Structure 1
Amino acid sequence: MEDEILKVDVTDGIARLVMNRPAKLNALSDAMLAALTERLTTLAADPDVRVIILAGAGKAFCAGHDLKEMQAGRAAPDGGAAYFNDLFARCGALMQLIPVLPQPVIAEVQGIATAAGCQLVASCDMAIAAEGTRFGVNGVNIGLFCSTPMVALTRNIGRKAAFELLTTGQFIDAARATELGLINRAVPQDTLEAETRHLAQTVAAKLSAAVKIGKRAFYEQAQMDLAQAYAHTGRVMADNMLLRDTNEGINAFLEKRRPDWA
């Protein structure tokens, strides 16, 4: 339905989620946060879904939180304190959900990705953006430092570049976002959806069990020191080697044939 806040299509193992609130630049309203969290949680348990694409309808990917909705929260007797704390906790939970999903998540970005919208891009495992897309953690321009977006941003790009964006509120284009490592690459607007799907199809064609193991280990090792990371990933690779389909994949490579994965 066109009036659905989140449109979902699952084809050939790829789930494409489209935030569908274009008149509000796909702002992360309470309803949008709930819809994304519910759908991603459901997809996490679906063994037939191997990759997830997250996109936005209309001229923007996501413009961050719904400021009008946030301002309405001030009407509460506590001035909005409980609501604001709950809002940022729910948003933080969504951002933390994405890295722990078993499937890789690819952001398909166009127009603008600002504040919590930029946070959403940074939280995804990969991102492809249309040329001309603008990115910013620009809350400081209205007196609200983007402290929660800062968490994802500083885990994607260098500290000095991140701090400059956070304190100046300036925007960067897709080319600069690529240089900084916020996105994988920029492509022409008219090829954005096709390029993103091609990346998703490439990943979906791999052994799903191996990709799931690898994604989990990718984030786990990033939190460890060097020795711990090697010890942990060594155990992960040993477990991976014991999979029936990994054995089949190696044999197929050696015998120059396609693997017969279950």
Structure 2
Amino acid sequence: MSTAPDHQSAPIPILLREDHEGVVTLTLNRPQQFNALSEAMLEALQTQLDALAQDEQLRCVILAAAGKAFCAGHDLREMRATPQLDYYQDLFRRCSKVMQSIQNLPVPVIARVQGIATAAGCQLVGSCDLAVASEEARFAVSGINVGLFCATPSVALTRNVSIKRAFEMLVTGKFIDAATAADWGLINRAVPEQELDSAIAVLSAQIVARSPTAIRYGKAMVYRQKQMSLGDAYDYAADVMARNIMEHDAGEGIDAFLEKRAPRWAPK
């Protein structure tokens, strides 16, 4: 007699998506593997990010994770299974593309960090525009502990915290707690675990309440001007601001302020 089941169970998605009134929550869903960034996870993230980049109704993205860990970095077992230079070059190139795609999204991305974020997981936090963490969360770029300098995570890390603080983390592999991460600028704030969801909800609601047009102008501008000289940055920012003020929302917002009423933003 056969013991096979009558039907096969559907595979559990490694990346979950939830949409609610312009806010999309992507949840890393490999809790038993501490949400490690496997090849499949990177592909799933890239697919979603590419789709979100084209969504004109999108207002905010929340990047979350299931289980006790936010993300433990790359999947080391998977990496060791293919010890070839071209494989590793392609893997880190794909991971870097995911990180840049987060920053290139036209809307804010908030990291919801409930647990440890190490190596590429710390890079993921640093690549998001905003981050709120549980007081229990911890952060590290710990590749050095296994003989691997966290080169690609260092790019995001050194764009969030000072070079000396980042370098100490990179060469020691030591963890910092959430309070320290907030003090150093890696995250926006640390809150008690039971308040994490409400803190994220408040932040995303504040974003959604603002002009979607202005936010899309602003996010692209902030990152682009960082790469410019001071004079070029001001020239670029002035042009962006002039173009922004010509939009409906700016006129409506100013009129609403002068008339002491709530603004009515143009739908995207």
Q: TM-score range by the shorter chain?
A: over 0.9
Which of 16, 19, 42 does residue 28 from structure 2 map onto? 19
Code of the aligned partner of 1:191:
E
Q: Once structures 1 and 2 are overlaid, which stretch shifts more, 187-196 or 146-155?
A: 187-196
Code of the aligned partner of 1:12:
E
Are 2:134 and 2:191, in contact at CA under 8 Å, matched by a contact in 1? Answer: yes
1:41 corresponds to: 50
Code of the aligned partner of 1:198:
V
- Give the match's secondary structure for 2:112: strand
Superposition map of 1:30-179 within 5 A: 30-74=39-83, 80-179=84-183
Structure 1 residues 2 and 56, CA gap change in structure 2 (3 angstroms): farther
Moved over 2 A (4+): none
Give 1:154 shift: 0.4
Which of 18, 25, 29 does residue 38 from structure 2 map onto? 29
TM-score computed with the length of structure 1 as normaliser: 0.96
Tell me the alpha carbon deviations over residues 117-148 of structure 1, each in whole angstroms, 9 at most, x when there is no partner.
00000000000000021100000000000000
Give 1:2 shift: 8.2
Equivalents in 2 of 1:184, 1:138: separation in Å? 22
Tell me the alpha carbon deviations over residues 4-51 of structure 1, each in whole angstroms, 9 at most, x when there is no partner.
111100101110110000000000000000001110110111111100
Are 2:214 and 2:249, in contact at CA under 8 Å, matched by a contact in 1? Answer: no
Number of paired residues? 257
Code of the aligned partner of 2:206:
T
Structure 1 residues 69 and 261, CA gap change in structure 2 (3 angstroms): same
2:4 corresponds to: none
Q: Which has the larger radius of gyration?
A: 2
Q: Once structures 1 and 2 are overlaid, which stretch shifts more, 189-198 or 5-14?
A: 189-198
Equivalents in 2 of 1:209, 1:38: separation in Å? 24
Code of the aligned partner of 1:33:
L
Equivalents in 1 of 2:206, 2:220: separation in Å? 19
- Give the match's secondary structure for 2:82: helix
TM-score computed with the length of structure 2 as normaliser: 0.94
- Give the match's secondary structure for 1:152: helix
Q: CA RMSD in A?
A: 1.0
1:181 corresponds to: 185
- Give the match's secondary structure for 2:169: helix
Report percent identity of matched pairs.
Answer: 54
Structure 1 residues 103 and 2, CA gap change in structure 2 (3 angstroms): farther
Unaligned runs of 5+ in 2: 1-9
2:206 corresponds to: 202
1:223 corresponds to: 227
- Give the match's secondary structure for 2:221: helix
Asked if 1:9 corresponds to 2:23, the answer is no
2:5 corresponds to: none
2:6 corresponds to: none
Code of the aligned partner of 1:255:
E
Give 1:260 shift: 2.2
